[in-house]
Amino acid sequence: MCFSATASFAAGGVLATTGALTLSKAETKKELPLASVPLFFGIQQTIEGVIWVSFGMPALSTVMTYAYLFFAYVFWPVFVPFAVLLVETHPVRRKILKIFSFVGLAIGLYLLYFLIVEPSKAHILNQSIAYDFRHMYDLLYIAPYVVVTTVSGMVSSHRILNFFGVAALGAFAVSQWFYSVNFVSVWCFLAAILSIIIYWHFKRKPVAKRLAETG
């Protein structure tokens, strides 16, 4: 498996297009955050594409690195459980997702603090980008992070979101096993591609049937 600026820019373009299509199919305000997931992944992958071509340009590389890490470490643990919660109607599942949202917010704010106070940089390692940020390699932080970003989908009443959660967890396992040093970049890339699944959640049924599925 090989990654490059071309792969990141191509993924960013495909995901941005998919995100626009997905947003066009969202029929309620509560569906907008979930529908925007592919678009945000597209932005993140485009940022990583810029990082690939910015080595040798320290200022640009630093700005893009912190922008990427904000998505990876702060945005996703906060946003994913919140987006899934908004489209959930089952009372018990909503309670679980509210807990996940609180935990995700706590993780995001905690990692944001260290992202601000500790220097971070990116470098190429084994044909992918590695980010120097020690907190995401500690089980104490990575375990709840993985739970809120993947198990949230499994908790959902929506079958396609169940599949997305399982697939994202599988992508994490693959990334951690084969790319332990730069798994953050690899996992985000794989999760970004998998986020196309969310488009099918909106395409396959009108909003009335999607809501009935969880009723």
Q: What is the mean pLDDT of the chain?
A: 88
Are the beta carbons of 72 and 141 closer than 8 angstroms? no
Q: What is the pLDDT of residue 183?
A: 76
- φ/ψ of residue 152, rounded to 5: -55, -45
pTM for the structure as a whole: 0.88
Place of tokens 């396992």: 173
User: CA Rg, the chain, in Å?
Assistant: 17
- In this predicted model, what pLDDT tens digit does every residue of 87-116 receive, in sequence order? 999 999 999 999 999 999 999 999 999 889
CB 64 within 8 A of CB 50: yes
What is the per-residue pLDDT across 174-193, written as a single tens digit (0 to 9) for each?
A: 888 877 777 788 888 889 99
| Segment 19-33 mean pLDDT | 92
Range of the domain at 183: 5-214
Total domains, the chain = 1
Tell whether the torsion through CA atoms of 63, 67, 68 and 69 is positive or negative: positive
